[in-house]
Amino acid sequence: MRKSVDGSELAVDDGVGEARVETVETAAENEGHQFANKTPSTLMQTNAIQFRSENYPANYLPDTSCTNQFDSSSDGITFEFTSFSAEWLHDFLVFRDLDGNDFGGYGCSWILTGTRLSFASSRLPVSIHFNSDDSVEESGFSIAVIAGYDPQNDFQNSDSCGTPRDFYEF
């Protein structure tokens, strides 16, 4: 099922299989690779989607840099890592809330699987930036994105697993 929400489409497989967010992309070339800036995806209160790295579960591409922004009409958004595998100390994923607070960075590979991060509506939208270098590629990530705030898993109560350097402004 597809729904148009704030200019983005949510593709939902009615509870069977997977759901993906598709958004309008603006691409710019850099050293022969595509860098995609995506428009915000707004989640309805009852929707949950899977947000995945390109090619998941196959390896992501080298020299990847992309930022996705999520917003919700509910009381917040919760992200649950169902899988995360990236080259340790070289490739990274960083969350940034409305106030510029970061979670993630280098050194997070494998330890994020099972982690839940929740952002209250006052901190939305949340941007997620993924960056990879040109050496080793892994399977990337699959994150369940759930509309709703879970105070027990507020991202400010979570230990950041790395240094969020090189988080590109968007």
pLDDT tens profile 6-42? 333 332 222 222 223 433 222 222 233 222 333 444 4
pLDDT for 43: 53
Instruction: Name the 3-class secondary structure at 36.
Output: strand
β-partners of residue 79 are: 117, 145
Superfamily of domain 26-157: Spermadhesin, CUB domain (2.60.120.290)
- pLDDT: which is higher, 62 or 108: 62
Instruction: Give the span between the Cα atoms of 8 and 4, in whole angstroms.
Output: 6
Which amino acid appears at position 71 of this protein? D
Confidence (pTM): 0.68
Q: Which two tokens stand for residue 111?
A: 């330890």
Cβ atoms of residues 67 and 128 within 8 Å: yes
Q: Under DSSP, is residue 123 helix (H, G, I), strand (E, B) or coil?
A: helix
Which of 104, 109, 77, 90 is CA-nearest to residue 158?
Answer: 104
Helix (H, G, I), strand (E, B) or coil at 151: helix
User: Domain-by-domain residue ranges, the chain?
Assistant: 26-157
For residue range 80-127, what is the model confidence (pLDDT) as tens digits?
989 888 887 788 888 888 998 888 766 566 667 788 889 999 999 999
